């Protein structure tokens, strides 16, 4: 532990399960932050009991909601510890006074399970069988599926409950899979209960941190585990949805929507998204504003992607300010996406707010006051409204004089906005008197003396501002990748509060020769070592109408490539559980018992050795390892320097027919290793990297490189010196090597070779700075 580490006092209950899950969670948090900012934080563990530990007689079905968290949270509130680690299901839905919380993203299986004595099963339960349960939900399950059984209350920790079963106190018990798995008792599970039979609580399998409300350091730490709340305008009909709003809908996990909304907009939500109608109509409110705000805060702190969807534009009579303040008060990140308002939609019928020769402006006003009471809309009320002036920067001084002559005070708030919609655009805050100077400053910044087009705002609204609470707030991140990698990186940068600055330097072009796809059934394995390779592979299969049921088995080096396949319903048969990259893939290949069994997908072949984790087990946002770039990994002959590993690979792949699809820049390491193992490898270039030459290098604070080819393309246009004074983030050893070979200083290498994980690494580094662990 570094002397400069920020040491947090963490509390937990004393059961074996509580200690195991707490230590694992704290270790993962420390590893995530300290890998990016060494010496930033550490934890000192303190053990407490709870009313639930001391009172073994009370039936849990009627216990208070803080039965297992009360003492810990009192210690947090009183300052005896900084934070407490809980099973998320043990904390109240809303934290107690003076407390705040966050759910951690590392979840276990949330399902319930049946446990019988060894060698017995639920199908053999006798009439009157005693079933140990601890909640009304499980009692109802017993009555429905085992009507002849007798549900009885059971108490004690997990091991004690299993012991009560084994000694004959019960014939069967129902527990959560999560606790058994964390304790290494998964072998005692007789049957996993499908969620369709017994829906588990959302919190089951999750862990939560509670801490003092307003604790600045822990609020910053929480930002690693939450995504921005998105306040978005849905327009007037589904056809009005902007691309950004559609994207937010497609990634949303919890959608709170208004009544004044085209229901068709909700069809863009992903399956499983929770939809909460919270609409308000004149004189009829389904929920009070405070309740809506509480729902937003609750789901955001549970790590959910929350979308607050409003009809029209959220900034026009949408109570946006109240809801934003509700998340700002907790320093939770958020974004605002405008929408088409009804006054704009009126243009469909020829009702134009402005029209040459008819009107040069318009007023938007409501006759309802803050509390719903009647309010004036006369000339004086309209005169107090903010003024938005288009195309006025060339006449800034005249505008100032005119408004001043009408009685507007010189100190009245004003703002001038240039380049709205461009990366990094921000208003110039000023006053009515300062408008001309703001425009002059913009002219000088332009460099060529031109007055940029802009919007002038005068009135109280001009003083309004949002606070960017993301860890990358104010940081412009140059993204040199293209395609899916760029899209994921943009999303991750926005999630962290940064400004993505896309600058694709490489275009990926598929080869015209697709003869490799003619007889895929003759292969035993296909090797795909990048998300781009997976994408072009799937594109080709669709074009040629290839029957997916006849595909050979597929190996990939990491999750990003595997997930690209999963989107098409194809699951990687070989994926390393750790050590992502070519080395890890080849090692996993050599360790398979029988990699040639069930060569195609016909008949439902067994799937996914080391396969994809369930959602939430190792989310990328935590910095967990991910997929490797195309040219990372092993050296020829497997390259481990491990004779046993080479022999295992030979036993597994000798004589196997392998198709390796790659880019023209990819290393031959995987191909040579498999050939050295005795495999018959057809190595085909599936796509080529074509360098692009952008005209201008935009301003940026950090640069993200996902491939050596992008590094070379950047250096050929601007030289590596253009990176001086900026943070340089790379994924993959070849990318790092290319940067270092050109003399790039201080290259940061993400432990996860995937866009989202790399950006999370950058965010964790910023957190380390804020905690004082790195410069």
Question: DSSP assignment, residue 455?
Answer: E
Residue 442: closest CA among 460, 467, 425: 425
Q: How many CB atoms lie within 10 A of CB 278?
A: 20
The phi, psi pair for 324, rounded to 5°, reads: -65, -40
Using CB atoms within 10 A of its CB, is residue 361 exposed (0-12), middle (13-18) or buried (19+)? exposed
59 is catalytic: no
Question: Residues near 390 by Cβ (< 8 Å), separated by ≥ 6?
Answer: 455
Task: From 356, 459, 451, select the one nearest 395 (Cα to Cα).
Answer: 451
Are 767 and 33 in contact, with CB atoms under 8 Å apart?
yes
The SS3 assignment for 515 reads helix
Q: Which one is catalytic: 53, 215, 280, 598?
A: 280
Q: Is the dihedral of CA 441, 445, 450, 455 positive or negative?
A: negative
User: How crowded is residue 399: how many other Cβ atoms within 10 Å of its Cβ?
Assistant: 21
d(CA 77, CA 609): 46
Element (H, E) at 415: strand 413-418
Strands 284-285, 280-281: pairing is antiparallel
Indicate the burial class of 90 (C-beta count within 10 angstroms; 0-12, 13-18, 19 or more). Answer: buried
Looking up tokens 């446990």, which residue turns up?
Answer: 115
Largest pairwise CA distance in the chain? 92
Contact in structure between 142 and 136 (CB atoms under 8 Å): no
- Annotated active-site residue in 90, 112, 240, 258: 258
What's the rounded Cα separation, in Å, for the pair 143 and 147?
Answer: 5
Bridge partners (DSSP) listed for residue 115: 173
CA–CA separation, 353 and 687 (whole Å): 51
Specify whether the CB–CB gap between 626 and 492 falls below 8 A: no
DSSP string for 648-706: HHHHHHTT-EEEEEEETTS-SHHHHHHHHTT-EEEEEEEEEEEE---S-----SEEEE-
Asked if 247 is an active-site residue, the reply is no
Cα(60)–Cα(50) distance, integer angstroms: 14
Q: Taking phi first (over 0 means left), then psi (-120 to 50 degrees means alpha), and beta for anything else, what does residue 364 get? A: beta
Interatomic CA distance for residues 107 and 207, integer angstroms? 7
* 75 vs 70: CA distance, rounded Å: 9
Helix ranges (DSSP H) in 273-419 = 289-301, 320-328, 342-345, 379-383, 396-405
- Contact assessment for residue 730 and residue 749, using Cβ atoms and an 8 Å cutoff: yes
The rounded distance, in Å, linking the Cα atoms of 556 and 572 is 7
Residues 499 and 424 sit within 8 Å (Cβ to Cβ): yes
For residues 737 and 720, is the Cβ–Cβ distance under 8 A?
Answer: no
The answer for 639, left when phi > 0, alpha when psi is -120 to 50, beta otherwise, is: left
Q: Give me the active site residues, please.
A: 258, 280
């Amino acid at each position: 532990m570094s002397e400069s580490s920020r040491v947090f006092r963490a509390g937990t209950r004393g059961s074996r399960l509580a200690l195991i899950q707490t230590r694992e969670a704290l270790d993962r948090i420390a590893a995530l932050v300290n890998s990016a900012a060494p010496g930033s934080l550490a934890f000192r563990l303190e053990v407490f009991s709870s009313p639930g530990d001391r009172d073994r007689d009370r039936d849990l079905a009627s216990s208070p909601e803080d039965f297992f968290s009360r003492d810990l949270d009192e210690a947090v509130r009183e300052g005896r510890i900084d934070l407490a680690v809980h099973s998320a299901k043990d904390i109240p839905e809303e934290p107690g006074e003076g407390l705040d919380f966050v759910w951690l993203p590392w979840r276990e299986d949330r399902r319930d399970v049946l446990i019988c004595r060894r060698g017995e099963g639920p199908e053999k339960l006798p009439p009157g069988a005693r079933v140990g349960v601890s909640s009304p939900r499980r009692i109802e399950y017993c009555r429905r599926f085992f009507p002849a059984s007798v549900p009885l209350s059971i108490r004690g920790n997990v091991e004690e409950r299993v012991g009560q079963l084994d000694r004959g106190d019960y014939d069967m018990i129902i527990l959560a899979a999560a606790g058994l798995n964390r304790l290494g008792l998964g072998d005692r599970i007789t049957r996993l209960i499908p969620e369709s039979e017994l829906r588990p609580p959302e919190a089951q399998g999750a862990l939560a941190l509670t801490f003092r409300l307003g604790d600045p350091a822990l609020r910053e730490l929480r930002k690693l585990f939450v995504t921005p709340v998105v306040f978005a305008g849905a327009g007037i009909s589904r056809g009005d949805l902007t691309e950004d709003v559609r994207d937010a809908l497609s990634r949303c996990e919890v959608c709170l929507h208004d009544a004044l909304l085209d229901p068709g907009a909700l069809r863009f939500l992903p399956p499983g998204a929770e939809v909460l109608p919270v609409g308000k109509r004149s004189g009829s409110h389904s929920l009070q504003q405070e309740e809506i705000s509480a729902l937003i805060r609750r789901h955001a702190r549970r790590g959910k992607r929350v979308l607050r969807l409003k009809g029209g534009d959220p900034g026009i009579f949408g109570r946006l300010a109240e809801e934003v303040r509700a998340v700002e008060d907790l320093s939770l990140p958020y974004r605002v996406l405008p929408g088409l308002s009804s006054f704009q939609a009126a243009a469909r019928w020829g009702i134009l707010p402005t029209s040459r020769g008819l009107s040069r402006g318009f007023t938007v006003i409501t006759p309802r006051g803050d509390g719903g009471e009647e309010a004036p809309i006369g000339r004086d009320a309209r005169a107090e409204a903010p003024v938005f002036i288009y195309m006025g920067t060339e006449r800034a001084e005249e505008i100032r004089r005119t408004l001043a002559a009408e009685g507007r005070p010189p100190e009245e708030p004003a703002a001038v906005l240039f380049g709205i919609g461009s990366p990094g655009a921000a208003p110039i805050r000023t006053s009515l008197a300062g408008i001309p100077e703001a425009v002059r400053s913009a002219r000088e910044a332009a460099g060529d003396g031109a007055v940029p087009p802009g919007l002038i705002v005068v009135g109280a609204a001009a003083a309004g501002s949002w606070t960017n609470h993301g860890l990358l707030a104010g940081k412009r991140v140059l993204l040199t990748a293209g395609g899916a990698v760029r899209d994921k990186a943009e999303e991750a940068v926005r999630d962290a509060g940064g400004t993505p600055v896309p600058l694709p330097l490489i275009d990926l072009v598929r080869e015209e020769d697709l003869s490799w796809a003619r007889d895929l059934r003759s292969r035993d394995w296909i090797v795909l070592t990048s998300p781009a390779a997976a994408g072009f592979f799937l594109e080709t299969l669709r074009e040629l109408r290839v029957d997916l049921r006849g595909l050979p088995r597929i190996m990939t080096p990491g999750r990003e490539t595997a997930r690209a396949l999963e989107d098409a319903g194809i699951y990687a048969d070989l994926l390393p559980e750790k050590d992502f990259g070519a080395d890890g893939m080849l090692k996993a290949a050599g360790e398979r018992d029988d990699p040639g069994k069930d060569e195609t997908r016909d008949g439902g072949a067994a799937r996914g050795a080391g396969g994809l984790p369930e959602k939430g087990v190792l989310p990328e946002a935590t910095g967990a390892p991910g997929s490797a770039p195309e040219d990372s990994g092993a050296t020829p002959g497997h390259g481990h320097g491990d004779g046993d590993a080479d022999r295992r690979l030979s036993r597994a792949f000798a004589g196997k027919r392998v198709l390796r699809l790659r880019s023209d820049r990819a290393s031959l390491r995987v191909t040579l290793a498999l050939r050295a193992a005795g495999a018959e490898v057809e190595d085909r270039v599936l796509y080529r990297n074509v360098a692009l030459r952008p005209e201008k290098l935009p301003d940026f604070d950090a640069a993200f490189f996902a491939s050596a080819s992008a590094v070379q393309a950047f250096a050929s246009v601007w030289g590596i010196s253009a990176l001086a004074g900026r943070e340089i983030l790379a994924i993959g050893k070849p990318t790092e090597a290319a940067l270092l070979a050109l003399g790039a200083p201080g290259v940061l290498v993400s432990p996860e070779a995937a866009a989202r994980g790399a950006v999370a690494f950058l965010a964790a580094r910023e957190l380390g700075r804020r905690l004082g662990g790195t410069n």
